[in-house]
Each structure stands twice: as C-alpha cells, then as structure tokens.
Structure 1
Amino acid sequence: MPEPQLTPEAFDHAVVAIALTAGTDHRLVYYNHAFRALFGDRPLGAPAREAFTEPGSERFLATLDAVLADGTARQVTAHRTLGCPAGEPTHRHFVYSCSPTTTGEGPGILAAAIDTTAELHSALEAERQSAERLEALQRYEALIAAAAQMVWVARADGTAGELMPGWEEITGQPFPEAATADGWLDVVHPQDRADTAARWAAALRELPAVFDHTFRVRSATGGYRHLRSRAVPVPHEDRGTEWIGTTRDIEDHWRGRLRERLLARAGAVTEAERAEDAFAALAATLVPDLTDVCAVYLLPGPDAAGEEITATRIASVARPGLPPLPPLERQTFTLGPHARRAVTDRTPALLDLTAGAFPTGTVPEISARWLRAVRATSLTLLPIVVDGAVVALAATAGCQDAPPPGPADIDLQHEVLQRAQAPLRQALALQRARHAAVVLQRALLTTPPRLGAAAVAARYQPGSRNAEIGGDWYDAFALPDGSLAITIGDVAGHDLAAATTMGQLRAMLRSIAYTRGHAHTPADTLRELDTAAEGLGVGSFATAVHARLVRNGADGGWEMEWANAGHPPPVLVPVDGPPRLLAAEDADVPLCVDPGRPRVTHRHPVGAGETLLLYTDGLVEVPGEHLNDGIARLCRSAAEARHQPLADLCDHLVARVADVRDDIAVIAFRPDPQGPVQHGAAGQGTAGQGTAGGGGRKGKRR
C-alpha cells in the first residue's frame, strides 16, 4: 500500500511557521504565511543551500541532511537568531524541528519553527531588572545601615527577626529573634500595648498595603519614647506572606509637634464668663495626650498666704474609658505639706502612688477614693500662676497602671498650664465681680417678717447653667398700718448690672410703699417706682407683682390687693379644689417701658388655710415650651403639697424643677390663725453660687 502524501496547503493558515523540502538537495517546495512573516520570502524550487544563505544557516542545513539520512525527527530548542528587515526589531529568535515526510516529488522534510522573540526578550528584561534590584537592594542596605533606624523581617506567623540592629540600643533589651508578638510587647507602654497588638494582628490577617503605627516603648535610659514602625507585606507562594519593616525613634519629633499643638490649644482657650469653664477648657488641653486626668483647685487669694490654705475643685477632665468623675460639690480641702510646697515654691511636685497611699491634703478625700478605684500610679501637682500670683493648683494623674510622667512630660504640662494667661485673668476678674454681686444680692434677700396670724416663707435657687448673678428678688415687710407688703420681681439680664438695678428698684419700692398711706394702692406704688426709675436713670426692663395684704375680720381671712407689671400671675391654692390664677384680662406693661401709662389694682380675698404664691419665671419656664404649660405644672405641684407646712411646700415646688436653667424666686403666704407661727427664708442658696436675672422675655407676658 503506497504511503500517503502530505498535502501542504493544509498549513497555509497555521500559526506555526511551516516549510517543506523535497529530494536530496532539499528543494524548497512549500512554505506558509507564518513562515514568510518570520523568515521573509524564499525562492520556491531552489535547493536549501540557495534558499537559506544567512549566517548560521549551516546548522539548519546539516539538520536537514541528518533527518533525510536516517529518517529520525530532530528538535533544536536552543534559541536561534536571525536578522530582520529594516523597520523591525534588530533580531528575531526562534526554535525549530525537522521531521521526515513523503511529498509528491519523493522523500522530503517538514520543517516547523516557533517565534520566541517575545519570550526571550521578556527573560532578558527580567534578568536585567533582577540585576537592577540587586544593585538597589545593596544601595538600600547601605543607606539603612547609615540611618538611625532598625530593619526587621516578620514571617507569616508574626515572629520576627532583626536585619539591621537597633532594638537593643533603643530599649536596652536584645531583640526577641524567635519570639512571637508577646516578646516585644513586654516593653511597649501599658496603655499602648493592647492597641498595638490588635493592629499588628489585623495587619497579619488583612494584609494592608502598608502597616504604619506609632507607639511608646520603655527606653534603655528610663521613661518611654515614641517609635514608628512601617512595614509592607511580601507574598511568597511556598511560605506565605512575610513582612519587611523599619522602626525608628521619633520621640524628639513627636514631642515637638505635641508641644506646638498643646500650646496652640491652651492659647486658644476662649475667654469664658465663668472661671469653671476657663479652667475646664485648660485642663482638657492636657487630657489625654499628656495625662489621664486633670483637676484644677482654685485658691482663695493670690499666693494664698496664711497658716492654712483652702482650695476648691473648680474643674476636672478625665480621658475616655475611665469611670465618671465625682461631682464638684464637697470638693474643698486644706492643702497638706506637698500641695502647699508646690504653691509656695511655684514648682511642680511628683508623688508616687504605687503603694496606694495618698499623702494628706494632696486632693480631697472624695477625689482620693476615685483615684484609688482607677489604680492611679502617680500624682503631679502643678501651680498655675496668673500675673505673678499662684491662683490655682492643678493635679494630674496617671491611671490604670500607667507609668509616672518623665521630667519632659511634667515640664510640658506646666508650660501648657501657664499659656492661657489672658482667658484665666478675664474669668477670675468676672468671678470676683460676681462674688461681690452675690454678697449684695444675698443681703437684699431678707428674712420675711414674723406674723401671728399667717405664715410667710420664701426660697431662692440660683440657675445652674447661667451666670451666677442677676435680677430675681422677693421681699416681704410690715407696713406702718399693720398690713403686709409682698413683692416678687425680675430684672432682665444675668450680670452685675442686673443685680445692681434689682437692688436699686427694690430699695425704691420699699421706700415708696412704706411712706405712703393706706389709700396708696399697689398700682400707685408701681407707677411712682416707674417714674422715679426713669427720672433717676435707674431704668431697666423689669417685671414685678406688688401686693398688700390686710387681715379681714375674725374668720382668719385676708384681703389682697395687687398690681402686676408684666409678671407671671399669682397663684391661689385653696384648701380644696383646683388652684386658680389671679390674672387680669389685660395685664399692665413691665416696668421701665412707659411710665406714663396707668396701672390697675386688683383685689381678691385669701381665706384661712389658702396659699398665695408669687414666683419668677425660673419656676415655670422651660425652653421651647409655652409659659402656660409651666404655670399649669406649677398649679398641679402646689395642689399636691397644699397641706404641707409652708416652708415644705416651697421646697417641694423648687425640687420639682428638673433642670434649673434660670434663677428661681418664690414667696408664699398662708393665713393660719390657728396654727403655729412660721417664718424664715431657708434654702436661699449657697453663698458664692450667686443669682441670675430673668432674661429678656418679659414683654411676652400678659
């Protein structure tokens, strides 16, 4: 059976270069398009020695002879190179094979060639880049060796090894070559340890492009220094991902940046109206960057000269994560030796609290209990000097096993506290003025008179959020004819001017009411007060209710006549039944608005056992709520406690105010001929807390 002959046209569109020769002289009888693209046009019918004449063709011709001689196919896998036509790459590379076959012209050879130019160029480029990387690595190693940082490599399990030494120089301990993360975490600051371990574990798990973290380590010379570690993951198919990282000491840079930031924050403390706010803002500049907690204790006077120095906690701030700080009340204490020395020497003092003992007089006992609960390890006392005088003492503490601050930390704390001179000076000046006004206002809130046939009680509660002085007042005094005058008033404002105006108006009203006869009505009194205030230049927007009460017969009842200058209406609480407002359809305008306008006197009986309430808006007003809602709430509260003694009723009404934002003044009157005499004005607030005015909203009242 004859051998099948090769049909070469089958290779016309093959991707491999194909050529076919026939006869002993290897005449070129066929080649395809891929062959032409790789080798160019060759003369068909010409012997191979004439068709392939370029240098290096001798090996190809010898391969053709050998295959034809023994009938065995041969492969040449070493890259062969040939020149290319102009405009193309300089050389093309290929590998080829020769196989015996039968053609229409007798025995022949099928030559197949594969273009390997791209592969060879890629290999050569990779080799070149590898050499460049090696050179760059050598340069990098030389640079790192000259730089002040260590280089390390970490394996996929987190264990690390040191490439460039430096760890021992920083920490004083050898690098834990074969240790896990726990080994190097031993020297990390206790407050940074958990976060650092968590961040490194997350990096091992999530493989971010760069791990970058700053933390503190215990240094070889004592104290802690800030280090910054940066690392990149390097994946390996056979052994997972390793990390190449650097760690360097950035303490000087970090401290310089921190100093700039904290001093800027301290200098930006706003000029607060209250000393508490100014000192609290100053304490907040230290927490949490330099300490865990900072409390400020105000001293009684410049440098607090004398045998004993009493300080009062005025502000405190703690870092997040610590328990709530104790309230500011009951935070007055006498300075002990350590605190007194810090004040008199004007030098910071560091106390070691690791034994759990607090030297007497360093902080109030309630603060000492809090510090023990949070495992405070150190307490630093820092005097605060304003205009050359020590005005306060700051106490900072490290908590929850934090190491004590180093000298640089203490110096920076002290420097920051001294930066806010201007706002502290302003706040202290306002506080002194406020204290003077408080003393004045307390002196004006006199005790109601004793009455044999009725009880009178009053209460005053300063606002908790506003400035501590203002224009709320009450008054009660006996008139020459035996009747009783009662007044409640509110001057707009929360400042010294409001308190001063309140004192002047109160004094003038007393004088007018006392010197006029029985025919002089409350409306006449308020009209004359309005005229005098305008003529004497005392005028300030104010509201008031002025009443005169006269005993009416033997049944124990009294007759009240009153005038209302734009103030919330009096409330009458009967023995039984709902309380009612003693309000007119058209209330008179407030004081100091239009002295020429007429005023009206109203009359109403107050029976035995009934309670008359006069009050300021702080007792009923809530921001965002209609005033009538607050008055209705007052009536309900008064009804609940109507049978309590008058003083207890006043306490009940004040206690029901959930959020004291404004001053509260209330005076109550109850005819009670059968009961014991009640009098007094207990609960007028604490001296030094001050008062506040009633705000600028009186014109809305009717």
Structure 2
Amino acid sequence: MRRIGGGTGVPELEPEVFDRAIVAVALTAGADHRLVYVNEAFRALFGPRELGARAADVFTEPNAARFLKMLDQVYLDRAARQVTESRTTEGTAPGAPGRRHFVYSCSPVVSRFGPGVLAVAVDTTPQVDAVEAAQLLSGQRQKALQRYEALMSAVTQIVWLMKPNGDIIELVGGFEEFTGIPWRPVIDQEWLSAVHPHDRHRLVQTWTEAYEGTPSLFVCTFRMRTASGEYRHVQSRAVPIERGGELVEWIGATADVEDQWRNRLRERLLARVTTVTGADDVPDAFAAVAAAVVPDLTDVCAVFMLPAPGVGGPLTAVRVASTARSGLPALPPLSNEPYLVGSVAQQVIESRRPRLLTFPTGDPPDSVLSEMSRRWLRAARATSLTFVPIVIESSVVAFACAASCADGPPPGQADLALLREILHEAREPLRQAVELQRTRHTALTLQRALLTPTPRVPGAELAAHYQPASKTAEIGGDWYDALLLPDGTVTLTIGDIAGHDLDAATSMSQLRSMLRVIAYDQDHPNSPAESLSQLDRVVDGLKIAPLVTVVHANLVPRPGGRWHVAWSNAGHPPPLLLPASGEPRYLLGEGPDLPLCVAPSMPRATWHHELENGDTLLLYTDGLIEVPGTDLGEGMTTLARIARAARAEGLTLAQICAQMLSGVGNRRDDAAVIGFRPINQGGTRGAAWGGRLLA
C-alpha cells in the first residue's frame, strides 16, 4: 500500500500482492469497470480474460448479470457485498477449465488505476460436487428403500432380523397368522414346539453350522405346525451382515413351500413306483411299493397279502414286505406265517376305503395287528396307523399299513391323499406281478405233479430231487423220470426244455408221457438211442418244443448185484459216476449227440457201463453246472467235488441228491437230479454202503 497525495489520502491498493494468492482476485477501475488485473488463481478458475476491456464485455456468461450489477452497486455506495451461495460457471470461455462452482465478494478499493472494485472468488467445486454426490446417493437410497418397503409389503414371506445376541425382530409379519401362536422374539422351546419333531434336530444343527466360525448362508427346509394343526413345509434363508469384519445382524425370510415340496415329492414317488415294473415276483413288487413311500411319506410301511378268493375260514394275511426308515428298531423278519386280520383291517378291506387310526405314543390298540407287530410299534413309539386297501381288478388283494413313529404326529390329509395316489398308481405293475405269480403257480403245480416219486426197485436204490433256483424260476422245462418195466429193467431220464414258462412246463409233460410210452412198449424194445430217435421224430413233427436236451438210460440187473447201464445223450450234460471207491468221473462216451428238434434224421449212439455194488449213477440238469462267472468245466469239477464230499460223509442217496442241489452257489436256473445205486441184497443197504466207504 501506499498513500496518495503526499501521504494524507486513502490507502492505495497494489494488486500485485495477490499474484500468488490461492483465491481468485480481479480488479476493475472506473465507473465502466474496466478489468485492470487478474491473478493466476482467477485465470485457473474462469479462464483468461482481456485486460483493459469493460467488465460487461469480458464477463459475457448468461449468469454474469448479477456480478455486473453488484459491481455497479459497490462502486456507487462504496459498500462491500458478498455471495455465499455457490455460483456456477459453465466454462464456455476460451481456456476455461469447465464447469466450476464458487462464491465471491466485491469490495471498494483505490489503486494506482483510481477508484474501483476488488472481486475475490473462492473455488467451492469439490465441496459442491461432494454435496451433490451425497444428495444423489441419498436419493438413490431413498428410492431403493421405498422399493424394498413396497416389495416386502407385496411378498408372502415372513421377513425377520436377528441380532448377534439372539433377539429377533419381525420386519414383515405373518408368523402368528401362520402358526396360531404369538411372535417369539427369541428361538426358545415354545418356538421349536411348532416345528415337526423329526425336523427340530436338523434345523438346530443347520443353524449352528451357519452361525459358528465364519458366518455363512443359512438355508433349511422344515415342517411347521400351522394354525389348523397340520404341518406344512417352510424354507428359511438368512444371510449374515458384517461391518468392519464383525457380525452385526442376520437378515432372513421364511416362506411357505408346501406346494412346491409336495409336487416334487409326488414326482419323485411316482418315479420310484416305476421300479415295481421290474420286480420279478409279488413279494418283490410289494417291497418296491413299500420302499417308494419310506421315508418321505411315512416312517414305516408294511404290505399284507390276502389269500386267493374262495379260501374258507377266518380271514388271514401274510406280511410279504416291510420297510422302515433308519433310526427305528429292526423290523421283524418276514415269514409265510398267516395272521388273523384285525377288525380295523377287515373294515378297510370290506369298504375299500383307507382309515387312519391314532393312539397315544407307543400304545397301539389290541386286535389291530399281530402281537409281534404291536411289540414293534411300542418299541418304535408309534402314534398312528394308516390302512390302505390295494385293489387289483376289482378285488382287494392286499392292504398296506403305514405308521408314524418316534413321537411323530399323524399324517395330514395331504399325506393320506398322496399315499393313496401312489398305491393307486402301482396297481398295474402289481396286477402284472400277481398274474405272473398265478401263472407260475399253475405251471409249478403241473410240473411238480409230473415229478412223481421214484419206484421201489429190488436190488437198487433210487432218489430224485428238484429245486427251483428262486421264486422267479419255479417253472420251466426241467424234469426227471424213473420207470420200472415188467422185465425188471429200470429207465432213468433227465431232461430240459428251453424256456421258463407255462408252455415249457406243458411241453415237458407231453415229452415225458411220450417217452414213457416208447420205453414201456415191450413188444418193440428199443435201445436208449432208438427211443430218443423215435421221440425226436414225433416232437419235431408235432412242433411240441423248440429245443430239448435229454439223457435216457436203461439199467438191467446182472448176477452178483451188478447192473448194466446203457444210455444215449441228446445234447445234455454227461452222467456223473460216483464209484463206491475211487474218484468221481463223467461218462462222456465220445460226446453227446445233437439235442432233439435239431436234426431228427441224424443217427444216435448208445453207450454202456457196468455198475458195481455201491456205485452211484447221477443224472442232472445244466442248472447245477452253469454258474455265472465260470465255464462249464469249472461247474462240472465243482459238482464232482460236492458229490465226493457227500460220499465221504456217508450220506444216503437222497441226501447226496439234495446236497448236490444246495451245494452249488449263485445258481440262477432251476435244477433236477436223479440217482441210481445198486445195493448188496445179501445184507443191509447201509452195511454194504458203509463197507465201501471204509475200504
């Protein structure tokens, strides 16, 4: 500063002192406000401006009018003025930095250019931008909050907030309306009492796993008791909220998913029922049905088969299948023992309508099921029984009995409806299994009726045995026969017709009868080869069977207790000779001839052998040597070893035949065996046989 007029005037401003100021400074002079000075901060904020020009020509921005007016006012009344609200320059001037915000003031001054106005501007761009950004974010958050609140009011879920100390706040209500009990601010025993007993442990465990350690997403589907008293499936999902690395709260939602859960369950159970189609017999079919509904629909399911229509006496049933979920006591083993049908089951059978029976935990009423079943229900803490009739072709052939156990509540109406639907869908495959079993039973009755006892033969012992491989192979073309001719000759036959059905069993009966007639015709005695050739021509001409293998033998007594055996083999496994002493061996001849029904005109061979006292001749079907995973050679070796071991044990001929059938493991085909052994007529059979063993 310096003074004007010899040091007695107004202090004179030297604008150069503002050259390095951090605020923008401009100086005008005269009434027309000519711009005489700007500093670097001014040019940085507003861009370069022309010095010496009037302010009106320099500041041409649309919003500069207020600034020009303030210059006039300050110059005239010599009073300072300021603008505290941020002003904005759009930065349209050449060299301007762009849109900026500022506040400014105008003060009267005197400089070497005469009276004028000093304008000072402060750049507020960072502060204004920050405020605008905060306002924008706040607006966005406000909109998001409004949308969230609208969404929460529209959804059908219960939304809740849980603090780390376990306090729960219901953000979107519905708990009391759904459960019929007031909202619980904490998860306590009363809250858990609304959860299905079988789901409580899993719910607590799932929450503990999500809460402990590093908090993670919690998802659990469980059943809750509704205000109506029935249970519905709900799903709870919650995510942890952390701030600064610390858990501050959980936000979660619980939704009713019963309809989705039940639709998925229905599809899953119906898919399981398709396995019934692959069942080989009735018990397997009913077992597949029971397994289909456990554990998703019930804790245990048993199926009781009723007798065929027309059977007199009190109504009985046989438990043919039963399945229980894990964690329950072991079920009693299945047996063919019939049980008297209780009054409740009788009502279900007569009315053909399901019935639900509830009772105190572990206290089933008397006369409902057998005592063995009631003991199991008591041990399993059962609470209800559901009886459902199984109707096939307008007849009740069985009934299913499902139970809720381990203090579980009785099934709801939706569960009962789905159980009935599943059993209804299983009717067709069950019908097929029942029909197949009836056909097998008819064929088996026919087949076993033809497998007559062996005749009593002086000087020899005969024994035969037949055994199906399983319940699925009880019918087929395996057969044996023994015939005592008037001249004392014994014929032995073992054969196998391709197939395991009623047709095979029927064909077997025809072949057996025809071969008996051929062998018994004493006016035209035939060798075994001639008998098989004659049979082959008849079977092929009448188209009785597609393929037959058979060994046919004639045994003629000789002096000294020996027997002469002559046999012919039509494609069948060779006879097994078990000498009284020495190693077993197969009577191979030069190999078997072709099976029957292949080339009837081809000649056949007869082979011969002498049987000594105590020797055993064994004829058998291929079910004894065809074992999966082995070849025929291994099967024949195994069979000879079994026969030798039976001989070493001193078994009777009948016991040897039975041992041969039971000793072959993993057998998938039915099998038959017939044995012949000369005995010493000079003493007891046991002494002669025992003497041979000791030798």
TM-score by length of 2: 0.79
Instruction: Give the aligned partner of residue 160 of structure 2.
Output: 152
Q: RMSD value over aligned CA atoms? A: 4.2
Please report how far the alpha carbon of residue 95 of structure 1 lies from its aligned counterpart in structure 2 after TM superposition.
9.8
Instruction: Give the aligned partner of residue 550 of structure 2.
Output: 544
Please report how far the alpha carbon of residue 520 of structure 1 lies from its aligned counterpart in structure 2 after TM superposition.
1.7
Please report how far the alpha carbon of residue 113 of structure 1 lies from its aligned counterpart in structure 2 after TM superposition.
7.9
Native 8 Å contact 2:162 2:169 kept in 1: yes
Structure 1 position 41 matched with structure 2 position 54: no
Instruction: Give the aligned partner of residue 685 of structure 1.
Output: none
Instruction: Give the aligned partner of residue 497 of structure 1.
Output: 503
Aligned partner of 2:89 among 82, 89, 92: 82
1:479–1:376 distance in 2 versus 1, CA, 3 Å: farther
1:529–1:369 distance in 2 versus 1, CA, 3 Å: farther
Instruction: Give the aligned partner of residue 388 of structure 2.
Output: 382
Please report how far the alpha carbon of residue 177 of structure 1 lies from its aligned counterpart in structure 2 after TM superposition.
0.7
User: Alignment partner of 1:382: what SS?
Assistant: strand
Q: Residues of 1 paired with 2:276 and 2:452: CA distance?
A: 39
1:558–1:322 distance in 2 versus 1, CA, 3 Å: farther
Native 8 Å contact 1:448 1:476 kept in 2: yes
Give deviations 1:486-516, integer Å, cap 9, x for gaps: 1111111111111111111111112211224
Q: Residues of 2 paired with 1:282 and 1:594: CA distance?
A: 49
Instruction: Give the aligned partner of residue 217 of structure 1.
Output: 224
1:549–1:295 distance in 2 versus 1, CA, 3 Å: same
Q: Residues of 2 paired with 1:496 and 1:189: CA distance?
A: 53
Please report how far the alpha carbon of residue 663 of structure 1 lies from its aligned counterpart in structure 2 after TM superposition.
0.7
Instruction: Give the aligned partner of residue 635 of structure 2.
Output: 630
Aligned partner of 1:295 among 282, 295, 302: 302
Native 8 Å contact 1:22 1:29 kept in 2: no
Give 1:591's aligned amino acid. Answer: L
Structure 1 position 578 matched with structure 2 position 589: no
Please report how far the alpha carbon of residue 230 of structure 1 lies from its aligned counterpart in structure 2 after TM superposition.
3.7
Q: Residues of 1 paired with 2:371 and 2:668: CA distance?
A: 30
Q: Residues of 2 paired with 1:657 and 1:95: CA distance?
A: 107
1:596–1:354 distance in 2 versus 1, CA, 3 Å: farther
Give 1:132's aligned amino acid. Answer: K
Q: Residues of 1 paired with 2:559 and 2:566: CA distance?
A: 16
Instruction: Give the aligned partner of residue 79 of structure 2.
Output: none
Native 8 Å contact 1:271 1:422 kept in 2: no
Please report how far the alpha carbon of residue 616 of structure 1 lies from its aligned counterpart in structure 2 after TM superposition.
1.4
Native 8 Å contact 2:483 2:490 kept in 1: yes
Aligned partner of 1:123 among 134, 148, 159: 134
Q: Residues of 2 paired with 1:225 and 1:464: CA distance?
A: 45
Structure 1 position 200 matched with structure 2 position 207: yes
1:376–1:510 distance in 2 versus 1, CA, 3 Å: farther
Native 8 Å contact 1:29 1:44 kept in 2: no
User: Alignment partner of 2:382: what SS?
Assistant: coil
Aligned partner of 1:140 among 122, 143, 151: 151
Please report how far the alpha carbon of residue 601 of structure 1 lies from its aligned counterpart in structure 2 after TM superposition.
1.0
Give deviations 1:235-266, integer Å, cap 9, x for gaps: 33486242333324344565466556656765
Instruction: Give the aligned partner of residue 11 of structure 2.
Output: none
Aligned partner of 2:493 among 487, 496, 499: 487
Give deviations 1:599-641, integer Å, cap 9, x for gaps: 1111122222222222112222122321111111111121112
Instruction: Give the aligned partner of residue 474 of structure 2.
Output: 468
Give 1:664's aligned amino acid. Answer: A
Please report how far the alpha carbon of residue 447 of structure 1 lies from its aligned counterpart in structure 2 after TM superposition.
1.2
User: Alignment partner of 1:670: what SS?
Assistant: strand
Instruction: Give the aligned partner of residue 605 of structure 1.
Output: 610
Native 8 Å contact 1:29 1:45 kept in 2: no
Q: Residues of 1 paired with 2:593 and 2:607: CA distance?
A: 11
Once the two structures are overlaid, the 10-residue window that deviates more, 576-585 or 629-638, is: 576-585
Instruction: Give the aligned partner of residue 282 of structure 2.
Output: 275
Please report how far the alpha carbon of residue 440 of structure 1 lies from its aligned counterpart in structure 2 after TM superposition.
0.7
Native 8 Å contact 2:177 2:227 kept in 1: yes
Structure 1 position 177 matched with structure 2 position 178: no
Counting only pairs closer than 5 Å after superposition, residues 351-390 of structure 1 correspond to structure 2 as 351-352=357-358, 354=360, 356-357=362-363, 362-363=368-369, 367=373, 370-390=376-396
Please report how far the alpha carbon of residue 269 of structure 1 lies from its aligned counterpart in structure 2 after TM superposition.
5.2
Instruction: Give the aligned partner of residue 558 of structure 1.
Output: 563
Please report how far the alpha carbon of residue 52 of structure 1 lies from its aligned counterpart in structure 2 after TM superposition.
8.4
Instruction: Give the aligned partner of residue 415 of structure 1.
Output: 421
Native 8 Å contact 2:628 2:666 kept in 1: no
1:445–1:306 distance in 2 versus 1, CA, 3 Å: closer
Give 2:160's aligned amino acid. Answer: W
Larger radius of gyration: 2
Please report how far the alpha carbon of residue 435 of structure 1 lies from its aligned counterpart in structure 2 after TM superposition.
1.4
In structure 2, stretches of 5+ residues that fail to align are 1-15, 30-34, 72-82, 105-119, 688-695
Native 8 Å contact 1:79 1:94 kept in 2: yes
Q: Residues of 2 paired with 1:588 and 1:77: CA distance?
A: 123
In structure 1, stretches of 5+ residues that fail to align are 12-16, 62-75, 97-108, 679-702
Aligned partner of 1:438 among 408, 427, 444: 444
1:341–1:313 distance in 2 versus 1, CA, 3 Å: same
Q: Residues of 1 paired with 2:402 and 2:224: CA distance?
A: 22
Once the two structures are overlaid, the 10-residue window that deviates more, 235-244 or 359-368, is: 359-368
TM-score by length of 1: 0.78
Please report how far the alpha carbon of residue 49 of structure 1 lies from its aligned counterpart in structure 2 after TM superposition.
12
Q: Residues of 2 paired with 1:179 and 1:369: CA distance?
A: 37
Structure 1 position 166 matched with structure 2 position 174: yes
